[in-house]
Chain A
């Protein structure tokens, strides 16, 4: 063992002292021979004979040296170094080829690295600076029969926290927007309401001051303290070193700034950067809908847990479910049919991670396709070059290089190429790490933050991709060496036929693969594009055009209920008086926005719920004229009026699905519904519309008058033909007249609202579209390369045809038809693949069949055009063949 090790170090050392040792060896052998000659002379031989005898008894000098060298260094490493040097030299000698090959690989590897880094940065390690993210899980509630996660209530959180033993940490957050006024500037910004253990639990200490102390999340409005982000500190507070202890008005309440978080910490909400944090005790100040810390029915918080080391998801889920079941039986009124579920971070049901998950999954497949297409291109380039290098290869074989040695050389050259490609690819990934943010529509008051993360794992994966590329790229020309025969290399090159069989099969095969893979991507892009159109054009059940929406943040500006009520009335009067405004109304929630509608257990006369079911229905609090303004038709009855105020009888409007479910087709108008223990009379039935997602199926929903269930947090809807900018200016003027300290959210159309809620689809379309285009481009280049090479190799055939009377159009048709035949083969193969693969798009597809003929048809059209474009130039060149020269050469 020791000898083995000694031998190895000795050999390793020899690799680096090669030149010295080589001189030593020369010297030693020379001295040996000289001594032998001298001895022979002394024995009486003639000098000539003496030298001959010495050489004979020594054996082959060069052979000895070669054996000696094999024994001395590490031959494998040395030949590899030699191959590397040679590879570099080959690249330098044909810079055009090298640049093209490296560009292809850069795009291929770069696309992979970028997607890896997004997946790492968004799904697996989404929260920079947070410790032990690998053990972090998202926790959310479930409703019986529904797969999606719902927020949980504060009392449930406290009970879970007390009862679960398998967690190191258990914390909650709730994202919210608020008005931040510093000096005379009021701005809307985004922050989080968190449990007091938040900063300890995530393991990120503030750089200044402190985090929250135990108990600061208890007591109604008892602890007006806040921790601010680094960006806020540097930006709005100009990096004030004395910031700790100063006060800042947030939502109209003075908060003491107790801490500043470090740079690069953005909170724990995938997609948006948080600017400040307040303890849960301040919930009422920031959240519409009143004091919720003691209300088990109010589900509003999002939770995370960190598992203890060694605990797995299943064990934790079992324990959590057991606790949830206890809560269910202890509090049937609020918890019946409700469970608690744990999700791995990358499947977090709230925030943008869940929304991006399907897109990123698809992207993984897409970038592998792009990589393969890029590799095929490079493989093709190498094939062309390997023909050019046939002589070199033949000579090397003739002087005794084994085939293995040649293959090793070719693979090493491939490695040099893909190593350059990998470096380029990582640069691409680095530049693209913030690119996802650009694909999301900007929204006021929110800083989007969706960074890719290039860490060790991503680097390792990219290196793996690079090796895969090397294999593909290096092995293709290597297979070709099998066909090397010493005599064949001297054969003439121009005797082939266009697209003929023989050596061209491999190049054609590669193009076939490229065409088929890009066809699959084109079909995918077509399907996604159609889904996007369908999803954006499908009626959400309210008008998307001619209705504007904005938020007048009265909660965050510190209005109490009576003041907010009179402000809303006054503003509504002023808005309605504006020229061009047809109607206007307030509502607590805008459909399709991030946030949750109120929900309440209901009871209906004559409706007997199944024993397992607690009928809980979501509702919205809306003002007079809401339905007219939103364009939601009423099937029967009336909508809310000014008269439906706190003094009048309680009323409600239900939607069609609710009417059908709870009144079983009977007209519910005039009937009663009990909400949170209060009986209300149904006065109208509204058409179903979309509430939380464009993709949802119709569900029961009802509306109550804002006045009778007052909430200070209200969105303003305005029906007007005017555009959003004009309205925003007018609205800002009116708001400013009433209260100069109020910041206005942006004014957007309801179509914009729909678009925002479907932005993950938009991201998917854009990414698949861009990469599909890239793949198409690469495949077109590949086809072009094959066709022009085929033409250049078959001048004799072309010349012969011309001599026999073929005219330019014949030749044009000949070349193009062979190119198209190749494309058709690829499309056929791609079509079969697409039929099998498009199903994987799963729920990214909306009302589009994965076998949609339109998508397949347009992919075919695009592919054909690209193929025609790729074949035209070579075909045209074929018509320029000079028959006399072609036949003579």
Chain B
């Protein structure tokens, strides 16, 4: 089963982006999209376009910063990297996500 884009809630996408940047280091938009798809084993097929407003939102909040750079195959690309505030945010969001999913699991199991 694949999730459609409407099921990828805004907060979830933010969390995925932050997590990706955390484990992969600075990365451009295309790379982030590929990585998310690969890690979710193509379960999560997001409309890649929706990534960009999300990136901008994270940048506006100060969680990531962007810088123009050159890609591995010599193309100009905008690289995003995590800030300290972003790292903190990731920890917080991962925790709350964990609590949330644990709770949902419990509810699903008992009923």
Contact = CB atoms under 8 A, between A and B. Distances in A.
Given A6-B60, A32-B77, A64-B53, 20 more contacts: A6-B62, A10-B59, A28-B52, A31-B77, A31-B78, A32-B28, A32-B30, A32-B33, A34-B75, A35-B71, A36-B48, A57-B48, A58-B47, A59-B49, A61-B49, A67-B50, A67-B52, A68-B52, A70-B53, A71-B57
A64 B60 contact: no
B61 A32 contact: no
A135 interface: no
Contacts of A70: 53
A300 to B, nearest CB: 74
Contacts of B26: none
A72 interface: yes
A63 B49 contact: yes
A25 B56 CA distance: 11
A323 B76 CA distance: 89
A64 B50 contact: yes
B71 A29 contact: no
B53 A67 contact: yes
A24 interface: yes
Nearest to B50: A59
Contacts of B52: 25, 28-29, 64, 67-68
A184 interface: no
B48 A58 contact: yes
B48 A10 contact: no
A462 to B, nearest CB: 39
Nearest to B52: A68
List of 3 A-B pairs having minimum Cβ-Cβ separation, nearest first: A64-B49, A59-B49, A59-B47
Interface magnitude class on chain B: 20 to 34
Contacts of A63: 49
A448 B77 CA distance: 76
Interface SS of chain B: helix, strand, loop or mixed? Answer: helix
A3 interface: yes
A301 to B, nearest CB: 69
A27 B33 CA distance: 17
25 contacts: A7-B60, A10-B59, A10-B60, A11-B60, A27-B76, A29-B52, A31-B71, A31-B76, A32-B28, A32-B29, A32-B30, A32-B48, A32-B77, A35-B71, A35-B73, A35-B77, A57-B45, A58-B49, A59-B47, A64-B52, A64-B53, A67-B49, A67-B50, A71-B53, A71-B56
Interface in B16-69: 28-30, 33-34, 45, 47-50, 52-53, 56-57, 59-62
Contacts of B71: 31, 35
A31 B30 CA distance: 8
A38 interface: yes
Interface of A: 3, 6-7, 10-11, 24-25, 27-29, 31-32, 34-36, 38-39, 57-61, 63-64, 67-68, 70-72
Given A3-B62, A59-B48, A35 B30 contact: yes
Nearest to B29: A32
Nearest to A54: B48
Contacts of B45: 57
B61 A3 contact: yes
Contacts of B62: 3, 6
A18 B34 CA distance: 29
B46 to A, nearest CB: 9
A31 B56 contact: no
Contacts, number: 73
Contacts of A59: 47-50
A361 to B, nearest CB: 54
B29 A28 contact: yes
B57 A28 contact: no
A28 B78 contact: yes
Contacts of B34: 39
Contact of A38 (B28, B50, B56, B73): B73
Nearest to A39: B34
Contacts of B76: 27, 31
A35 B75 contact: yes
Contacts of A64: 49-50, 52-53
B62 to A, nearest CB: 5
Nearest to B37: A57
Given A6-B62, A7-B60, A7-B61, A60 B49 contact: yes
Contacts of B77: 28, 31-32, 35
A31 B57 CA distance: 20
A677 B30 CA distance: 111
A691 B29 CA distance: 94
Nearest to A64: B49
A553 B59 CA distance: 85
Nearest to A28: B78
A11 B53 CA distance: 13
B5 to A, nearest CB: 8
Which of B33, B52, B59 gathers the greatest number of chain A CB atoms within 10 Å?
A: B52
Contacts of B78: 24, 27-28, 31
B26 to A, nearest CB: 15
Nearest to A33: B30
A39 B75 CA distance: 13
Contacts of B47: 57-59
Which of A11, A35, A36, A39 gathers the greatest number of chain B CB atoms within 10 Å?
A: A35
A6 B30 contact: no
Contacts of B75: 31, 34-35
Contacts of A28: 29, 52, 77-78
Which of B60, B61, B73 gathers the greatest number of chain A CB atoms within 10 Å?
A: B60
A28 B66 CA distance: 11
Interface in B62-111: 62, 71, 73, 75-78
Contacts of B50: 59, 64, 67
A714 B57 CA distance: 88
A55 to B, nearest CB: 10
Contacts of B73: 35, 38
A61 B73 CA distance: 23
A56 to B, nearest CB: 9
Which of A27, A32, A71 gathers the greatest number of chain B CB atoms within 10 Å?
A: A32
B68 to A, nearest CB: 8
A168 to B, nearest CB: 54
Contacts of A34: 75
A36 B73 CA distance: 12
Contacts of B61: 3, 6-7
B28 A31 contact: yes
Nearest to B61: A3
Nearest to B76: A31
A34 B75 CA distance: 9
A63 B50 CA distance: 9
A410 to B, nearest CB: 31
A59 B45 CA distance: 11
Contact of B56 (A35, A57, A68): A68
A72 B45 CA distance: 25
A64 to B, nearest CB: 3
Nearest to A27: B76
A24 B28 CA distance: 13
B107 to A, nearest CB: 31
A60 B50 CA distance: 9
A58 to B, nearest CB: 5
A32 B32 CA distance: 11
Nearest to B5: A59
Nearest to B89: A3
A753 to B, nearest CB: 77
Contacts of B59: 10
Nearest to A10: B60
A11 B76 CA distance: 25
A35 B32 CA distance: 12
A834 B54 CA distance: 63
Contacts of B30: 31-32, 35-36
Nearest to A9: B60
B4 to A, nearest CB: 12
Contacts of A29: 52
A145 B78 CA distance: 88
A33 to B, nearest CB: 9
